[in-house]
Amino acid sequence: MAKYEKFGPFLARQRAPKIKMAFAEIERVLGSPLPASAYKHRPWWSNNPSNNALTKAWLEAGYETTQVDMEHRHLVFQRVAKPGQKIRQLLGSLRRLLQIEDGYDLSALALPDWGRDLEAKYGAGRHGNARR
């Protein structure tokens, strides 16, 4: 990993959602050449985290490879959303449109008595079987 340790922080500092890089530019960031397999085998650039140490570096920085052009020796690193990031972005966009009262628990069940109501209506142990 030491050979590729500069690449993750380099990508993490980037603000662009897509970064097109030539293989030679990657080597300049690394300060050393890529292995011969990076120039010969397209799977070397896959986003499989067990592929190689450089793959782990770009994945941990929040990017995936796309548009790998082996002939012209360049590719695109595309930022990927982290788990939960999309919902946070959506809620952030609703910030001025939606107001949550103090003390309201969004994680609480919306219908906390649903189980009791079903038992009263259909009887214990028959949830969902009343209309067969």
What is each CA distance from 130 to 115, 116, 121, 127, in whole angstroms? Answer: 15, 15, 9, 7
Torsion of the alpha carbons at 82, 5, 42 and 47, rounded to the nearest 10: -20
pLDDT at 132: 45
The residues, any chain, with a CB within 8 Å of residue 63's CB and separated by 6 or more, are 11, 19, 77, 78, 79, 80
Q: What is the pLDDT along the chain (132 residues), one digit of tens a residue?
A: 588 889 999 999 999 999 999 999 999 999 999 999 999 999 999 999 998 999 999 999 999 999 999 999 999 999 997 666 666 666 677 777 767 778 777 666 667 777 777 788 887 665 555 444
pLDDT at 87: 67
Taking the model in full, what pTM does it have?
0.62
Cβ–Cβ < 8 Å for 86, 34: no
pLDDT at 23: 98
pLDDT at 115: 72
The letter for the amino acid at 12 is A
pLDDT at 43: 95
Give the tokens for residue 118.
Answer: 């079903």
Q: Are strands 63-69 and 18-22 parallel, antiparallel or unpaired?
A: unpaired
